[in-house]
């Protein structure tokens, strides 16, 4: 038994959901992924509860400090240790099965430790008063310490946590993914569904790992410099360049924007791999691999520099030419999405679909991602950026992209769950999960976009003016529905039945 | 019509206009091919290729049209016109610090362009101006340490009291960072 399997076994409640099936001989591609997926669901429980607290603090007029605490914790927990870690877990299991390589050794262990230890340290720092939002808002951490709102020790703790999380996302996970793809010996006994780099189901995973590594390296350099200065290893004067707000903000958004795009590439790839398995005529082929790959390449090439749209409203600090470039590239991602829409719908049209909960979750998550993409393109237009930037529109966009990818990964997990655990999920509960998530996800997204259209500010502890509270109520209602969908999904995992038992009952019934 | 389109609610309805046809097509294809008839499609490859061409052309044309139409509404254009138009520009210089604004003036005239030039003195701040009816007119992002002040040129057409809010999260009293701007009738008109 590996350490990962032992940790899962020793974890109450969640351990029961993800206990690894050792009878298949696939523990080497299942154990670490299962542990990461389990940890991601623990963070989801934390993030979900905090997400409901946010509108509740506004409705019941609680202390604004509670709102900003939950704002920071909810965003950070949802984006990184839940969504990203879920992607890493399911993605690594897929990679292992595609290339026949074990996920063992120090690299997956370090991925797990850095992500969860980092997120835990950040959580402690936030509970100690460090309220900086999901995107750090540099130089707010240092200004807050100077103003005495939180202590410098809290900044150091929070930065250490953020640094560990980033180390997992920028260095360890991409290196693990790439080393599995290009190095090591293939073991036939671990191959579940062999794929090459020409396959859209594999190409997106490779592009995603490279994007994270390349787009994230400048932030690693800046973050390392700052951290060394905070720990007193180098004098603060040597880190002055890294502490420049413009330097930090640009390297942060080169990474943060492309993190979301990398996750989109990864999940699109997983969708291209999963959809053919559910085609009614059994052809197991996309309408066109070439079109699917073209969509991935367009998404990659256009998204890399579209991060410039984050700074449109800082003109002339950001020159107009760069803002126009960010505008055009952002709409260019829409061309990739249009090709993707055609490929997916043409595939279903030509081959029919076995509408099982897993693939429907993937497709509805993808539809939510299309809504998010449309909202992102609109707010990246220079004219619209000036009436939407800083409003709830942006929060809606961020939340929707994370929810969309989470729904898609939960659908992909639904597909892979029997291979990992040897147990089967209940399709009726799966269908209820999909229904609730769809209503909650689309409803919350549209409510937040409407709030942004009405000028409702994001990250703002005073919704009760200008009639904005109506959007707050809608966000709360749809948030509760989303929460219910997660409860149904978790219940389904908890009461999953052994494959042999499920098969035996079905044979008995017939 | 275009004035509405490039407002906050215009953005919302354009997004819905992109979503709703997609959602309808998505539901139709999945329902038809998983519930009504999941058998192989009979559409010939040539017809699918034509459809692909029409779809991508339509998307491209819509995207280009929207972005070309938006050019007139980009504040950067107003700034360029103000610089070359020969009309005297009212200057409002502001410094944003946690959690207040220092402004060179809080009163401007309607009908004349106003240039807002803002700097953040400690951490990032925003400067969003809201119409008296609650609509957001524009926002600016100000980053500390940059050499050029963030700048927007805007011509107000209606007198009234306009609210100002910070839209960049700047700490525990961020929501309390607000101010007001009074737009009075043009002195030339009176």
ipTM for the predicted complex comes to 0.96
pLDDT band at residue B122 using 50, 70 and 90 as cut-offs: very high
pLDDT on residue A497: 85
A446 vs chain B: nearest CA distance in angstroms? 9
Tell me the pLDDT tens digit for each residue of A111-135: 999 999 999 999 999 999 999 998 9
- Per mean pLDDT, which range of A377-381, A497-501, B101-105, B112-116 is the poorest? A497-501
Q: What is the structure's pLDDT at A503?
A: 59
Interface test with B, best of A288, A317, A344, A441 (most B CBs within 10 A): A317
Q: A61-70, A272-281, B80-89, B106-115: which range is least confident on average?
A: B80-89
Contact, A20 vs A93, CB < 8 A?
Answer: no
Q: Distance (Å, rounded) from C-alpha A130 to C-alpha A378?
A: 33
Residue B74 and residue A375: Cβ atoms within 8 Å?
no
Smallest Cα distance from A392 to chain B, Å: 10
Nearest CB to B76: which of A71, A280, A320? A320
pLDDT of residue B81: 83
- Give the closest of A317, A386, A466 to B143, CB-based: A317
Residue B80: what pLDDT? 83
**Are the C-beta atoms of A5 and A22 separated by less than 8 Å?**
yes
In which residue ranges of chain A is pLDDT below 70?
502-510
Task: Judge whether residue B103 has pLDDT over 70.
Answer: yes
Angle between helices A3-10 and A106-127 (to 10 degrees): 40
Which candidate from A335, A452, A453 shows the least CB-CB separation from B59? A335
Do the Cβ atoms of A212 and A263 come closer than 8 Å?
A: no
- Asked if B139's CB is within 8 angstroms of A363's CB, the reply is no
- With beta carbons under 8 A apart, name residues in chain B contacting A382: 70, 74-76
Query: What mean pLDDT comes out for the span B160-165?
Result: 98
Residues of B in contact with A308 (CB under 8 A): none
Ramachandran angles phi, psi of A461, nearest 5°: -90, 35
User: What was the pLDDT predicted at A504?
Assistant: 61
Q: Tokens 């209606």 identify what position?
A: B158
B174 CB neighbours in chain A (<8 A) are: 68, 459-461
Q: Do A350 and B150 touch (CB under 8 A)?
A: no
Residue contacts between A and B (CB atoms, under 8 Å): 243
Which positions in chain A touch B70 (Cβ < 8 Å)? 381-384
Q: Answer whether 0.80 is exceeded by the pTM.
A: yes
Task: Report phi then psi at A256, rounded to 5.
Answer: -60, -40
pLDDT band for position B76 (cuts 50, 70, 90): confident
Residue where the block lists tokens 């073991």: A187
Residue B137: list chain A partners with CB under 8 A: 387
Residue of B70, B142, B171, B176 for testing the chain A interface, max A β-carbons within 10 Å: B171
The reported pLDDT for the residue numbered B190 is: 55
- Angstrom distances, CA of residue A24 to CA of A27, A61, A189, A500: 7, 54, 10, 13
Phi-psi region of A100 (alpha: psi -120 to 50; beta: other; left: phi over 0): left
Which of A75-89, A264-278, B33-47, B78-92 has the lowest average pLDDT? B78-92
Q: Between residues 170 and 209 of chain A, which touch chain B (CB distance below 8 Å)?
A: none
Considering only CA atoms, which of A5, A8, A86, A105 is closest in space to residue A44?
Answer: A86
Inspect the interface and report whether the beta carbons of A383 and B143 lie closer than 8 Å: no
Most B CBs within 10 Å, among A137, A276, A313, to test the B interface = A313
Nearest to A144 by CA among B102, B146, B119, B122: B122
> Interior CA angle at A478 toward B18 and A410, to 5°?
80
Please report the pLDDT score of residue A505 as a whole number. 59
CB-based contact, A247 to chain B, within 8 Å: no
A287 Cβ under 8 Å from any chain B Cβ: yes
* Residues A242 and A225 sit within 8 Å (Cβ to Cβ): yes
The predicted pLDDT at position A506 comes to 47
Sequence-distant (≥ 6) Cβ neighbours of residue B32 within 8 angstroms: A349
Whether residues A466 and B9 touch (CB distance < 8 A) is answered with no
- CB burial of residue A53 (10 Å; 0-12, 13-18, 19+): middle
Contact yes or no for A311 and B122 at CB 8 A? no
**Total number of residues shown for chain A:** 510
Measured between alpha carbons, how far is A395 from A70 in angstroms, rounded to an integer?
Answer: 14
Q: Establish if A282 touches chain B: CB-CB under 8 angstroms.
A: no
């Amino acid at each position: 038994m590996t350490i990962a399997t032992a940790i899962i076994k020793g974890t109450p409640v969640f351990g029961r959901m993800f206990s690894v099936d050792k009878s298949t001989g696939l523990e080497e591609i299942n154990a670490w992924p299962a542990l990461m997926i389990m940890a991601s669901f623990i963070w989801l429980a934390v993030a979900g509860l905090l997400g409901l607290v946010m509108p509740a603090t506004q409705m019941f007029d609680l202390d604004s400090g509670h709102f900003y605490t939950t704002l920071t914790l909810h965003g950070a927990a949802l984006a990184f240790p839940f969504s990203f870690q879920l992607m890493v877990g399911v993605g690594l299991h897929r990679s292992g099965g595609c290339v026949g390589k074990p996920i063992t050794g120090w690299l997956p262990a370090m991925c797990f430790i850095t992500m969860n230890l980092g997120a835990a340290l950040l959580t402690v720092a936030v509970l100690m008063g460090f309220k900086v939002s999901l995107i750090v808002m540099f130089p707010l951490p240092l200004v807050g310490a100077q103003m005495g709102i939180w202590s410098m020790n809290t900044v150091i703790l929070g930065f250490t946590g953020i640094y560990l999380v980033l180390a997992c996302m920028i260095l360890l996970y991409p290196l693990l993914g790439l080393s599995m793809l290009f190095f090591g010996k293939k073991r036939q006994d671990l191959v579940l569904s062999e794929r090459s780099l020409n396959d859209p189901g594999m190409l997106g995973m490779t592009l995603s790992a490279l994007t994270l590594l390349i787009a994230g390296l400048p932030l690693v350099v800046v973050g390392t410099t700052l951290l060394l200065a905070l720990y007193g290893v180098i004098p603060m004067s040597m880190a002055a360049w890294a502490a420049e707000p413009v330097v930090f903000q640009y390297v942060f958004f080169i990474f943060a924007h492309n993190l979301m795009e990398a996750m989109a590439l990864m999940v699109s790839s997983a969708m291209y791999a999963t959809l053919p398995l559910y085609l009614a005529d059994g052809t197991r082929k996309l309408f066109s691999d070439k079109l699917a790959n073209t969509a991935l390449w367009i998404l990659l090439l256009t998204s890399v520099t579209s991060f410039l749209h984050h700074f449109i409203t800082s003109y002339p600090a950001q020159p107009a030419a760069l803002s126009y470039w960010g505008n055009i590239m952002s709409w260019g991602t829409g061309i990739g999405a249009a090709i993707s829409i055609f490929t997916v719908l043409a595939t279903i049209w030509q081959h029919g679909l076995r509408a099982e909960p897993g693939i429907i979750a993937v497709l509805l998550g993808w539809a939510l991602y299309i809504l998010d993409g449309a909202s992102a393109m609109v707010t990246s237009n220079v004219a619209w950026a000036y009436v939407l930037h800083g409003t709830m529109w942006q929060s809606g966009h961020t939340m929707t992209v994370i929810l969309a990818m989470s729904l898609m990964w939960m659908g992909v997990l639904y597909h892979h769950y029997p291979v990992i655990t040897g147990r089967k999920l209940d399709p009726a509960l799966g269908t209820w999960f999909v229904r609730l998530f769809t209503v909650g996800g689309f409803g919350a997204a549209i409510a937040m976009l409407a709030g942004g259209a009405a000028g409702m500010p994001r990250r703002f502890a005073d919704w009760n003016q200008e009639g904005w509270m109506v959007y707050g109520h809608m966000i709360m209602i749809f948030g509760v529905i989303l929460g219910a969908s997660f409860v149904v999904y978790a219940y389904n995992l908890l009461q999953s039945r052994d494959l042999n038992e499920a098969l035996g009952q079905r044979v008995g019934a017939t | 019509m275009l004035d509405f389109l490039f407002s906050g609610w215009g953005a919302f309805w354009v997004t819905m206009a992109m979503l709703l046809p997609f959602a309808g097509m998505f539901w139709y294809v999945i329902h038809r091919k998983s519930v009504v008839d999941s058998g192989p499609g009979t559409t010939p490859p040539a017809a699918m290729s034509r459809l692909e061409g029409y779809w991508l052309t339509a998307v491209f044309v819509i995207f280009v049209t929207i972005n070309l139409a938006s050019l007139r509404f980009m504040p950067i254009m107003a700034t360029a016109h103000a610089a070359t138009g020969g009309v005297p520009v009212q200057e409002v210089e502001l410094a944003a610090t946690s959690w207040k604004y220092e402004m060179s003036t809080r009163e401007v005239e309607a009908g004349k362009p106003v240039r807002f030039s803002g700097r953040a003195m400690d951490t990032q701040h925003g400067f969003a101006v809201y119409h008296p009816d609650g609509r957001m007119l524009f926002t600016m992002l100000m980053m500390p340490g940059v050499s050029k002040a963030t700048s927007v040129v805007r011509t107000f057409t209606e007198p009234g009291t306009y609210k100002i809010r910070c839209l960049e999260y700047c700490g525990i009293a961020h929501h309390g960072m607000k101010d007001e701007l009074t737009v009075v009738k043009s002195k030339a008109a009176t």
